Structure 1
Amino acid sequence: MSFWDMARMAFHHMRHNFMRSFLTLLGIAIGVASILTVTSVGDGGRARMNRELMRFGINRVWIYPEEDPLTVRSAAALMGLDNVSACCPVARRMGLAEGGEGRCTLQVVGATPAQLEGEELKLVLGRFLKDTDGALRERSAVIMSRTAEALYAGDPIGETLWVDGAAFKVVGVVESGTEPVSKSAAVDQVFLPLSVYETLYPGGSLTEITLSVAEGADVAGVREAAGEMLARQSVKAELKSLDYERGLAEDVLSIFLMVMSFVAAICLVAGGVGVMNIMLVTVSERTHEIGLMKALGADSGMIMVQFLGEALFFSLTGGLIGILGGMGLTALARIFLDIPAAVGFGPALLTALFAAALGLVFGLYPAWKATQLDPVEALGKE
């Protein structure tokens, strides 16, 4: 008897006992859909979490002075570390800016050209600071878009900006590409060449050095390497990164997904128990048919294969319905939760194979019970 013959017989019995078969298929389908939804939504949630953390600078290491001042020499040495894509020595202080139609208090930042990448700034107008600005001590300034709107009615490029009484030429307008990690970081900034900043505010030192870590590199490893290099220079500094927060979030998400996957697996096992139940009922109802098959020469192997085939048909059909249901639930999660969730071919195939294996395992006992029936007694039952 071919698989299609067994499938045709299983479909006939399924249609003959529609409600009972439907409930059995529903048990398998719910288990499969639950597992697929949990895994796909979990992967999408992890991608969403990483995307949100990137907005806060998950790929950065911040270095702050403690007992010793940070210097440009230290920044140059840190730039030579492996997996460091940008090194931004920064000096900050609050200042008063005047220009165009008003004045405002903002954060004055002594920066280098690397600041554009280091703080993931988006250039809106003009240009950012260049190496020649620092080398020639040009009075160039780059302002934030909100500052440009507040002080200048039109295009601010080329306009004069007064910073604490010193005149600067506006050469560019930028926007922040990341979310501020604190309220103080949300203040608008004006970027000046670091060498000019040191002239404007003599006697100061760097307030921080920001390292941008290459994509895919270990942030914690870069932080440790930076700490070791500063220690060799006898510089005591505080190094911070968000890799701990990321690891904590990953652990919480993994535990949650593990629990939910366990619950979904229990649902699928319960569906397998449903397959065993319906197969036992089927064996009981078809006792006369089994006796007739044995009387016509069917051996135990053929009978076992037939009933195992029917159990497999139940589990695969329920698995297919569950895959479609999982895809639908994942699509809803993608819409309402705004996560990049999708059911992959690999997880769908593995879940379907697991459902098929459960059908075979839970169909073994009913199939074995069918082979143990005495043909004479079976023929005597209707």
Structure 2
Amino acid sequence: MVRGGTRGGRGRRFGGRGGGGPYGGIPRPALRPPFDLALSELAFPRCRPAPDDTAFTQALLKRHTELTPTPAEQAAVLNLVTKIETVVENLAVLPGDFAAFQLLTVRHVGAFKQGTMLKGDNVAELVFVLKTLPTKEAVEGLANKVTDELKHLVQNDTDLRPDQIKMLTNEEGFCITNGEVSVRILVTTITPNLNKLKPNVHLDFEVLKGHTVAIGHTLWFEENAHHSSIRVLVRLLKDLCTRHTGLSCLTPWLLDALAYHAIMNNLSRQALPLNVAFRRVLQLLASGLFLPGSTGAPWPVRGLRSPAHSVLSSAQLDRATMTAQTLLRVLARGGHAYLLGLQDFEEGKDISCEITVWDGVVVSPLAPAYEPLGKNANADGDDFMYAAMDEESENNAVGETA
């Protein structure tokens, strides 16, 4: 028994004596890691040589080559980003009549900065950190000012044409596009200003906080995910999620944390081969890494105590787990070409949702295990874990950027 766990003092916030606990007086479920063969090699030594994975490895590398943006696409995105930064720097030095804009810094975030952008998805993300409170009118004025100055800047540019530059505002800031290239401008403010925000006047608190956390996530990725295999695996996982509906709920943050965990978190502390890490991702998901009661993958940002997968609902967690179980069985029967998208399955159908036969072995999709609780139902046991995670999902679903 942990000292103080069932008495007052430190144990109080977890439902101890005299405390209501975070979930109405019921102790928070203990989080446990799922079974992971990569961390249990000493207890389960291999009794025969590992199978030849050469074909699978080559298929992974081939698919990654197809997903990697061309040099022209990356150059086009970088060119637009550079031009926007030039405009913003000029406005920060000489704001003119636009006094509402007081910029502290501009930070790069997202897939383009991390080197995990997919081919055809030519989008970069910039976070504008303002010293002032970001009112909706000020953000709209900033968007129009940046767009006008950008069109003026590229009048003599051979790659960018003023008539092709478009701007659209949204609840997160605004987006500037030039043909097939886009730059999303995410607006936030300094931390002391977050408590001064007013509804219907300034941008939403959760949106601004999420953009601030996105900066920390990108810094974490640069410091820890420096191994090239992590970027390759992230790109492959993003593609996997776009083709299998059950995995579409996994956010870019979850995929970054999952890829790092699968490659680097092992007994040797050395990067695992790509084929081993990809299979391990499916094994971890299938074993319940992202289910209520699991420790999950660690958050990329310090200070967030809840599991990374708490941003998803129980139904999404259940669907992702059963999809991974089906895909793992397909992979075990040699169906990696269909799983990776190198070959289309029955005119583009989702192989995780169809019954397939592999050398006489039938692989059928699993049925959902999660059933929503009624509003008046008593939550206990496993049902309480789901209900608790659903509540925590609503309270912690911040910092998610596309």
Fold similarity call, TM over 0.5? no
What range describes the TM-score normalised by the shorter chain of this pair?
under 0.3
Which of the pair has the greater relative contact order for Cα pairs under 8 Å at 6+ separation? 1
TM-score (norm 1): 0.21
Q: Provide the TM-score with structure 2 as the length reference.
A: 0.21
Structure with a larger share of its residues in strand: 1
Q: Which has the larger radius of gyration?
A: 1
Task: Name whichever structure is richer in helix by fraction.
Answer: 1
